[in-house]
Amino acid sequence: MSKRINFARGVPAEEAFPRAQLELCVQALASSREVVAYQYGPAVGPLPLREWLADYHGVDIANVMAADGSVALFDILCRIWLKPGETVLIEEPCYDRVVNLLRRYGANVIAIPMEADGPALEPLNAAARREPVFMYTVPDFQNPTGTTWSAAKRQHLVDLARSHDFRIVEDSPYRLLRYNGTQEPSIINIGRDVTVQLSSFSKVIAPGLRAAYLIAPPDTISAAAEVAESTYVTPGNFALSVTGEWLRRGFLGDQVAALRRLYAPRLEAMLSALDEFMAGHRYVRPEGGVFVGVTLAHPIDAQRLRKEASNAGLDVADGDGFFISKPSATFLRLPFSSMDEVTVRRGVEILSAIIGNELAKH
């Protein structure tokens, strides 16, 4: 029997984990006479990792906090900034775990529709006047659409945040995974006074390390550290120390280059399969990341689609989770990172056949 095809989750390729390098770092820490990595550590994460991050981002160490997973850091930001009923802006579609968290905090969420180069400006401008506390965005190779914001839209958001006095949460786990084209400026580098940045090594090293971090003003870091201390005391000091050691040894550049070599042809395969089998539907052409979002030309019974796909050996994500306003009967997120080119193409072929059959019934 052929292996199931996983279009449900955008997980990293197993063959890309830098296992030998991590083994070296684990051994170095485990056999070191220093026992720091074994102990409780600071609530903001181990010092060597924070030092490396501060240097890499050109900020002070007081601007850096490391934690177990960037969703945990987003949760802390919600806890220190948000009261129930207050307004938050998101992209639509949006990373589903963030949608869930905002619901849990009772936020009044305004979803801004996404275009090929970032948010639609008219709804964004209107929403900015509704006294948002912050806007959450993934401006590089967004989860779930693969969209990258243009420099002009990044600048526009910073201008809006300054004039309407709200913050921006820039979530950048995919930023290093650019396979072609040129990098847009980070929002935090355009407007450091209004932006905090989350990032994660999940997609670049390995999600099992849970190595993530926040770049923010010192008062935000202190408030976040207080929540961390009273919630989980300290993040996983050993795994974060291994991450710090891996970064300190200079493995990042080669790892990113290896990921680009591995993923670029997979993205190519995804786009050419979409061009071949699903040309009548709408999708952006990402220059990096791990997803391509597809908006179908006609609504479809998503539950039946998932069931039919599953029967054909293809797992597909529930597109509804990425939407706040209404369920989407047309959106599909297609990840390509963990599959070789032949599997990516086969997955799109199966999917398009099922969609064709379903649409033919109407």
CB of 71 to ligand PLP, least distance (A): 4
Closest separation between CB of residue 334 and ligand PLP, Å? 14
In the complex, what is the shortest distance from the CB of residue 143 to ligand PLP, in angstroms, rounded to a whole number?
3
Q: Closer to ligand PLP by CB, 11 or 312: give it.
A: 11
Residues at the site binding ligand PLP, with contacts judged by CB under 6 A: 69-71, 95, 138, 143, 171, 173, 200, 202, 207, 212
Between 210 and 346, name the residue whose CB sits nearer to ligand PLP: 210
Cα dihedral value 23, 56, 197, 316, nearest 10: -40
CB of 113 to ligand PLP, least distance (A): 18
State phi, psi for 296 to the nearest 5 degrees.
Answer: -70, 150
Return the number of the residue (202 or 352) whose C-beta is nearest ligand PLP. Answer: 202
Nearer to ligand PLP by Cβ, of 308 and 319: the residue is 319
Whether the CB-CB separation of 240 and 73 falls below 8 Å is answered with: no
Looking at beta carbons only, is 171 or 358 nearer to ligand PLP? Answer: 171
Please report how close the Cβ of residue 295 comes to ligand PLP at its closest, in angstroms.
Answer: 19
C-beta of 274 vs 317, nearer to ligand PLP: 317
Shortest distance (Å) from residue 9 CB to ligand PLP = 8
* C-alpha to C-alpha distance for 37 and 47, rounded to whole angstroms: 10
Choice between 104 and 162, CB closer to ligand PLP: 104
For residues 268 and 272, what is the distance between their CA atoms, to the nearest angstrom? 6
In the complex, the smallest distance separating the C-beta of residue 200 from ligand PLP, rounded to whole angstroms, is 3
Minimum distance from CB of 235 to ligand PLP (Å)? 11
Cβ pair 147, 293 in contact under 8 A: yes
Cα gap 241→258, rounded to integer Å: 23
Nearer to ligand PLP, 239 or 274 (CB): 239
Instruction: Decide: 112 and 92 in contact? Cβ < 8 Å.
Output: yes
**Amino acid found at 24:** L
Sign of CA dihedral 67, 40, 44, 25: negative
Helix (H) or strand (E) run with residue 264 in it: helix 252-277
Element (H, E) at 303: helix 302-311
212 contact partners, CB below 8 Å, separation of at least 6:
66, 67, 68, 69, 70, 72, 73, 173, 198, 199, 200, 201, 202
Closest CA to 69 of 229, 177, 214, 192: 214
